[in-house]
Amino acid sequence: KPAYTGIHPDSIFHEPNVARYDLDLDKANAILDEAGYARGSDGMRFKLNIDFGWATAKPIAEYMKPQLKKIGIDVTVRASPDFPSWAKRISTWDFDMTVDVVFNWGDPVIGVHRTYLCNNAKKGVIWSNTQQYCNPEVDVLLEKAGQENDKQKRIALYSKAQKIIGEEVPIYFTFTVPYHTIYNHTKVGNPPQTIWGTSSPLDEIYLK
């Protein structure tokens, strides 16, 4: 499924009506011109690196290179020798762009807040607020949503937070990643079927 916010579209807290950005090369070029990034003699405005942490993310990073070249951004796809090296690079803020996967887990408090809260930009901690995004209004909305017991009020708070984040775009979401659990129903009893999947404790599964 396409993704437009930091909350999964299957979640009751997902807000579908957020800013979306259609392909418009003329507008993108105009924004860069206005920002002062003029094209050089080679047609490029500036250079940046795009990192990836695992093999399946490499094609996405490689796809970005020719696409961003169209608006004058010279991209170098930068591989890491292993996952820990990538994680260190990203968590210590030694990157320009990266391809990543962020899990929501069972509730936004667990999987979403960590990505945006100002006080969670913790250098050296992967899957924290590694992009160093900080908006005090978003902080207040997320903190209130995390403490609110009324479902409808939580939905409203997360809706407003997603609309702000959608305008400011600290992360550009592309799609959700489907995960599947394969098991032999003649051998396995009570397989994991919740949002946690095989990340659940598996303490109630048994062999037939």
Residue 2 placed within a domain: no
**Pairwise pLDDT comparison (184 vs 76), residue with the higher score:** 76
The confidence score (pLDDT) of residue 27 equals 97
Q: State whether the Cα torsion 56-108-8-161 is positive or negative.
A: negative
Q: Please compute the mean of the pLDDT values over residues 141-158 and round it to a whole number.
A: 98
The rounded distance, in Å, linking the Cα atoms of 156 and 163 is: 11
Per-residue pLDDT at 85 exceeds 90? yes
Shared domain for 40 and 89, answered yes or no, is yes
With b meaning 16 or more CB within 10 Å and e meaning fewer, what string describes 72-85? bbebebbebeeeee
Query: Tokens in use for 61?
Result: 């990073």
Q: Please compute the mean of the pLDDT values over residues 40-47 and round it to a whole number.
A: 98
Per-residue pLDDT at 65 exceeds 90? yes
Shared domain for 66 and 121, answered yes or no, is yes
Shared domain for 170 and 199, answered yes or no, is no
Could you give the number of structural domains in the chain?
2
Q: Please compute the mean of the pLDDT values over residues 165-179 and round it to a whole number.
A: 92
Residue 44 placed within a domain: yes
Q: Please compute the mean of the pLDDT values over residues 166-185 and round it to a whole number.
A: 90
Residues of the domain holding 81: 25-177
Residue 5 placed within a domain: no
Residue 11 placed within a domain: no
Shared domain for 135 and 189, answered yes or no, is no
**Partners of residue 99 on adjacent β-strands:** 52
Residue 19 placed within a domain: no
Shared domain for 168 and 205, answered yes or no, is no
Shared domain for 115 and 54, answered yes or no, is yes
Shared domain for 160 and 63, answered yes or no, is yes
With b meaning 16 or more CB within 10 Å and e meaning fewer, what string describes 148-177? eeeeeebbbbbbbbbbebbeeeebebeeee
For the chain, strand residue ranges (E) read 46-52, 73-79, 97-99, 188-189, 206-207
**pLDDT tens column, 9-27:** 989 999 999 999 999 999 9
Query: Tokens in use for 152?
Result: 């409808």
For β-strands 188-189 and 206-207, DSSP reports them as antiparallel
* pLDDT averaged over every residue in the chain: 94
Shared domain for 32 and 51, answered yes or no, is yes
Q: Please compute the mean of the pLDDT values over residues 50-68 and round it to a whole number.
A: 96
**pLDDT tens column, 189-199:** 998 877 777 77
Q: Please compute the mean of the pLDDT values over residues 101-117 and round it to a whole number.
A: 93
All residues at 6 or more sequence positions from 155 whose CB lies less than 8 Å from its CB, including other chains:
12, 13
Q: Which of 26-30, 40-44, 194-198 has the lowest mean pLDDT?
A: 194-198
Instruction: Calculate Rg over the CA atoms of the chain.
Output: 20
113: confidence class by pLDDT, cuts 50, 70, 90: very high
The confidence score (pLDDT) of residue 1 equals 87
The confidence score (pLDDT) of residue 29 equals 98
Per-residue pLDDT at 57 exceeds 90? yes
Shared domain for 129 and 102, answered yes or no, is yes
